[in-house]
Amino acid sequence: MDARTGPPAPPGRIAVRLSDLGELAAALPHLLGFRPAESVVLVGLVGPGARRLGMTARADIPPVEAGRAMARLLAAKVVTGRPAGVVAVVVSEAGDAEVGDAEDGDAEQGLPHRGLMGHLCAALAEHAVPVRDVLLVRGGRWWSYDCPERCCAPGVGTALPDGVTELEVAAVAAGVVVEPDRATLAARVAPPEGLDRSAMAAVCAQVALECAERILDGGWDTVTGESWAAVLEALARCRPGAVVRLTDREVARVVWGLRDRSVRDLALQLALGEDAPAAEQLWTECTRRAPVPLDAAAATLLAVSAWVRGDGATAGIALDRALAGEPGYALARLLSEALDACLSPDELRRLIRSAAAAGR
């Protein structure tokens, strides 16, 4: 199979060739942002001949009785990317299962989770999406459930490609970091160890008073302009190569500025430009250090930055953080619903551009 992670154009996207199913199996951590464990993953294939990688959807392996329902939910998500085909992968350390009739002596060892993969194939068939292959990844090896050859027999399998792959090189160049698991990914936006919450809260309170005084003295528009200038100054400090950490005051000024919807909406557009990596770094820093509920806007912007580059896992974690801090935050709720419906990164980009054009 020959596939790509995206069309060979827009900056920031990774465009590489994956020459076979083994490379696709080995690429899952880079497609998800973390190393999946006991997971089901659907990889959409798009474009002429289904030769490019499209949307990737993942779920935990469910209990046997919930397999059919989970398969339908996961299939419904991946088909929103309009795939021409799908590769279904189960990542599990489960041992081989007994298949056949044990009472008649016809039982033999078979690959685990075959019933679950059957549910996935049936769910995708309901959407008229062909399944190109069904894989098991276990213990550094991979199997095809449909392969009759000895290499796919239980207990055999094929070793995952070793060495540095083209996708790994491209991912590093794009700043993608693969975490060991989803919990570690979530820790990226958790408050840093040693954070003095009371000191940060005190600085935020002081900045709030200063902003209120500036509104009384100079008017709302003046403070809006100052808030946007504060965002841009902090953004410059987060560009690649910068080594100076943002001060508590700088973080406080940014998060208070983002409470102004017009400033936040301007900040949304940063996810689409040359400063997108710096913006994502800025929103990450503000999300980690800002007190509740001032973290909601920054966490929502972090979700947007992650989603437009195709990182749905980080986007979901960031939106969870935003809604935990401020359950009624409207933009976070709207984006969470869109993410659940698998709004594509391209569609989100179009929405941001349309909103920006309407606001001019």
Per-residue pLDDT tens digits for 310-319: 777 888 899 9
Query: b vs e for 139-165, b when ≥16 Cβ sit within 10 Å of the residue's Cβ?
Result: eebbbbbeeeeeebebeebbebbeeeb
**pLDDT, tens digit, for every residue of 132-166?**
999 999 999 999 998 877 777 777 888 888 766 66
Could you give the CA distance from residue 309 to residue 6 in angstroms, rounded to a whole number? 11
pLDDT score of 95 more than 70: yes
pLDDT score of 235 more than 90: yes
On whether the CB atoms of residues 267 and 176 are closer than 8 A, the answer is no
Instruction: Output phi, psi for 296, to 5 deg.
Output: -65, -45
Could you give the CA distance from residue 218 to residue 44 in angstroms, rounded to a whole number? 53
Residue 273 lies inside a defined structural domain of this protein:
yes
284 and 329 in a single domain? The answer is yes
In the structure, what pLDDT confidence band is assigned to residue 233 with cuts at 50, 70 and 90? very high
How many domains does the chain fold into? 2
Contacts of residue 183, defined as CB under 8 A and 6 or more positions apart, other chains included, come to none
- The pLDDT assigned to 330 comes to 94
For the ranges 63-77, 157-171, 316-330, which has the lowest average pLDDT? 157-171
- Count of residues in the chain: 360
Residue 118 lies inside a defined structural domain of this protein:
yes
Residue 10 lies inside a defined structural domain of this protein:
no
Dihedral angle computed from the Cα positions of residues 282, 285, 287 and 291, in that order, rounded to the nearest 10 degrees:
-120
Residue 332 lies inside a defined structural domain of this protein:
yes
For the ranges 99-103, 126-130, 207-211, 293-297, which has the lowest average pLDDT? 99-103
**Residue 101 sits in a domain of what CATH number?**
3.40.140.10
**pLDDT, tens digit, for every residue of 171-203?**
666 556 677 778 887 888 888 777 788 999 999
- The domain of 347 spans 197-359
- The pLDDT assigned to 339 comes to 83
Mean pLDDT of 218-222: 92
Residue 130 lies inside a defined structural domain of this protein:
yes
What's the whole-number average pLDDT of the chain?
84
On whether the CB atoms of residues 167 and 16 are closer than 8 A, the answer is yes
150 and 237 in a single domain? The answer is no
127 and 158 in a single domain? The answer is yes
For the ranges 82-91, 122-131, 172-181, which has the lowest average pLDDT? 172-181
- The pLDDT assigned to 7 comes to 35
Dihedral angle computed from the Cα positions of residues 62, 64, 67 and 68, in that order, rounded to the nearest 10 degrees:
-160
Look at residues 149, 180, 211 and tell me which one is the last residue of a structural domain.
Answer: 180
29 and 112 in a single domain? The answer is yes
**Residue 235 sits in a domain of what CATH number?**
1.25.40
- Better pLDDT: 162 or 45: 45
User: Exposed, middle or buried: residue 198 (CB in 10 Å: 0-12, 13-18, 19+)?
Assistant: exposed
Could you give the CA distance from residue 189 to residue 204 in angstroms, rounded to a whole number? 19
